[in-house]
């Protein structure tokens, strides 16, 4: 018997290590993306507007149970460009996407650009986009052609929240490429679709991008939510808050589905917003100057929270400036696969910050531009923000110390001429790598009409 026992033991010794080194299941990624929300309109924000403090309890749990990013940015100041940058991991101005994509336009994100989800598909991820697309209307630009296994949403940048009698082809809700009946409240439909995808794919790694239209105008709250917002006196602000309440309810529904599916500990949840708040329709950006459509902090700085139980310490705050371009390299880093130099990404992995392995990362410069080489341009390096609103007659480069002047109220360019010179050199070098917008302000076609 002894020889037999020894043989079994030896077989066991050669087998057990392979078990202990079995590759862990890659984490699921869920991105919850609101639209035009105010910087001061979420309870997890330190300067949240008083009337909003109790209206986003589900979104607030993401920051409570994870990390809040206090210096977070989108790469664009309006809806369409910010999505183009996030989904490619590259400054969208590199491929002519400075401006919002007009309804029905025959262009979109350059077909030579690779979406991050295409790379994730090759790593075994199931991918889905729920909600707003706004990155191309022709067939070759459709989400299914750019890396999303399932698309449930609209191609255009906005629509009403209640059913239309006859929606346009780009505002109807598509199930992949098939129009669906007009029924139900839009935010609820997107929340339900996200839950459906999670339930159907919980057994394999997935990437889910939930691109809510809320609280983008029109301000059409769900009637069932009116009692919860009646304390807000101003009509526009109250109706805007109604969109926020529905957004939060559906985020809560998605978080519950993740938990009930038993995948909470292996799912990174990211919540953020697509650009600065649109104050013209009721958003509140707090101390920030400007709004959606400008390169002031109120146009590009966004609320951002992330949760990954067991990996991100609850209640963490990261103060490093981060940008939406960082999402793709971070997600790839989570899969233990390298980011190839040939991808030419402009972001970097946030993983060391998220997991507490690094208190901060090396300083870098972040850039923004809109409307091409004659439009506004800005950058941030460390605490310094340089902005030049070139489209305004007489404008000169302005410098702000964001650490001590978050509201950009005191231009200190005259007191720091050498710093301004250095930052302008960075700005010029970055802009030399960009192309003119393919449409809209600053595009060659627009210039030729002048």
Asked if residue 201 and residue 57 are part of one domain, the reply reads yes
Which of 310, 327, 354 is a domain's end point?
354
Are 396 and 286 in the same domain? Answer: no
The domain in which residue 433 lies consists of 365-448
| Residue 299 falls inside a structural domain | yes
Please list, residue by residue across 204-216, b when 16 or more beta carbons sit within 10 angstroms of its beta carbon and e when fewer do: ebbbbbbbbbbbb
Q: 270: which residues sit within 8 A by CB, 6+ positions away?
A: 29, 30, 31, 32, 304, 305, 306, 327
Q: Are residues 292 and 167 in the same domain?
A: yes
Residues 389 and 345 in one domain: no
Here the CATH number for the domain that contains residue 300 is: 3.40.720.10
Confidence of residue 445 (pLDDT cuts 50, 70, 90): confident
Domain count, the chain: 2
Tell me if 21 is assigned to some domain.
no
Q: Is the whole model's pTM more than 0.85, yes or no?
A: yes
Lowest-confidence segment of 3-12, 57-66, 75-84, 257-266 by average pLDDT: 3-12
In a domain, 312, yes or no: yes
Establish if 273 belongs to a structural domain: yes
Is a pLDDT exceeding 70 seen at residue 218? yes
- Out of 334, 354, 374, a domain closes at 354
Q: Are residues 391 and 311 in the same domain?
A: no
Identify whether 376 is part of a domain.
yes
- For residues 287 and 346, membership in a common domain is answered with yes
State yes or no: is 48 an active-site residue: no
Catalytic residue from among 77, 79, 142, 388 = 79
Q: Does 79 qualify as catalytic in the annotation? A: yes
Same domain for 275 and 190: yes
Final residue belonging to a domain, choices 310, 329, 354? 354
- 7 within a domain of the structure (yes/no): no
User: What's the mean pLDDT in 6-20?
Assistant: 34
Question: Is the domain of 239 the same as that of 299?
Answer: yes
Same domain, 273 and 330: yes
Mean pLDDT, all residues of the chain: 94
Quick: pLDDT tens for 337-384.
Answer: 999 999 999 999 999 999 999 999 999 999 999 999 999 999 999 999
Give yes or no: residues 233 and 308 share one domain.
yes
Examine the domain organization and report whether 206 and 339 are in the same domain.
Answer: yes
- The one catalytic residue in 77, 134, 367, 371 is 134
Domain membership of residue 4 (yes or no) is no
């Amino acid at each position: 018997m002894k020889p037999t026992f020894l043989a079994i033991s030896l077989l066991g010794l050669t087998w057990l290590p392979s078990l202990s080194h079995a590759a862990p299941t890659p984490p699921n990624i869920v991105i919850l993306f609101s639209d035009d929300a105010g910087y001061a309109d979420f309870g997890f924000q330190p300067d949240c507007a008083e009337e909003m403090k109790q209206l986003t309890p589900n979104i607030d749990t993401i920051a409570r149970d994870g990390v809040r990013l206090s210096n977070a940015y989108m790469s664009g100041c309006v809806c369409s460009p910010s999505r183009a940058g996030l989904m490619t991991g590259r400054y969208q101005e590199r491929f002519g996407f400075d401006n919002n994509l007009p309804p029905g336009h025959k262009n979109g994100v350059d077909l030579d650009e690779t979406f991050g989800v295409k790379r994730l598909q090759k790593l075994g991820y199931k991918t889905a986009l729920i909600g707003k697309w706004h990155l191309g209307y022709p067939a070759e630009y459709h989400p299914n052609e750019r890396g999303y296994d399932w698309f449930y949403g609209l191609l255009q940048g906005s629509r009403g929240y209640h059913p239309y009698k006859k929606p346009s082809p780009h505002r109807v809700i598509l199930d992949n490429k098939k129009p669906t009946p007009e029924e139900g409240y839009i935010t609820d439909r997107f929340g339900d679709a996200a839950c459906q995808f999670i339930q159907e794919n919980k057994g394999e790694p997935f990437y889910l991008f939930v691109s809510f239209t809320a609280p983008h105008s029109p301000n059409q709250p769900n009637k069932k939510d009116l009692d919860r917002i009646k304390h807000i006196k101003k009509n526009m602000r109250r109706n805007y808050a109604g969109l926020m309440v529905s957004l939060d309810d559906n985020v809560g529904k998605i978080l519950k589905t993740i938990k009930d599916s038993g995948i909470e500990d292996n799912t990174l949840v990211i919540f953020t917003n697509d650009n600065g708040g649109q104050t013209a329709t009721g958003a509140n950006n707090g101390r920030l100057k400007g709004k959606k459509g400008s390169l002031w902090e109120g146009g590009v700085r966004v609320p951002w929270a992330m949760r990954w139980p067991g990996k991100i310490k609850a209640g963490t705050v990261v103060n490093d400036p981060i940008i939406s371009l960082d999402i793709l390299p971070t997600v790839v880093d989570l899969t233990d696969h390298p980011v190839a130099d040939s991808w030419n990404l402009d972001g970097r992995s946030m993983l060391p910050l998220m997991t507490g392995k690094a208190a901060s990362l090396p300083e870098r410069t972040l850039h923004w531009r809109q409307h091409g080489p004659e439009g506004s341009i800005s950058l941030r390096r460390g605490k310094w923000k340089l902005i030049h609103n070139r489209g305004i007659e007489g404008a000169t480069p302005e410098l702000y110390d964001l650490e001590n002047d978050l509201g950009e109220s005191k231009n200190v360019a005259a007191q720091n001429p050498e710093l301004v010179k250095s930052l302008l050199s960075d700005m010029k070098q970055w802009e030399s790598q960009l192309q003119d917008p393919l449409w809209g302000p600053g595009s060659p076609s627009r210039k030729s009409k002048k």
